[in-house]
Amino acid sequence: MSLKKDKKETDNIDIEKKYSIDFLARFACLYEGVNIAADRAEKLGYDVNKNNIWIKPTALQKYVAERYGDMKYNMEQQRKGLEVDEIYPWDKVY
């Protein structure tokens, strides 16, 4: 028995064609929010792999709602080939 998968066209799915820009922007916001929360939790001394007390669903929901418009705009600009460079407090450029 072979462990190799047969290559199909479905293995190379273009995510931008399969999902809408709205879905991708919301998912990117959620991904970004979880990473920011995990980084801050680690700075506070929480072990993010063993403890989930740092996860605050309401805070993540608010972050996604607030960040969504900017993220969608940035993704649309990148689709057009324009580079959008933004500065956020966590970039540590101040």
The length of the chain, given as a count of residues: 94
Inter-residue contact 54 to 38 (CB < 8 Å): yes
The answer to pTM > 0.75 is no
How does residue 82 score in pLDDT terms, banded at 50, 70 and 90?
Answer: confident
In the numeric block, which tokens belong to residue 16? 């931008």
Tell me which of 32 and 6 has the higher pLDDT. 32
Tell me which of 66 and 52 has the higher pLDDT. 66
Separation CA 30–CA 23 (nearest Å): 11
- CB count in 10 Å sphere of residue 40: 13
Spans of all domains in the chain = 26-83
Which stretch, 22-31, 38-47, 81-90, has highest mean pLDDT? 22-31
Separation CA 31–CA 64 (nearest Å): 9
How does residue 32 score in pLDDT terms, banded at 50, 70 and 90?
Answer: very high
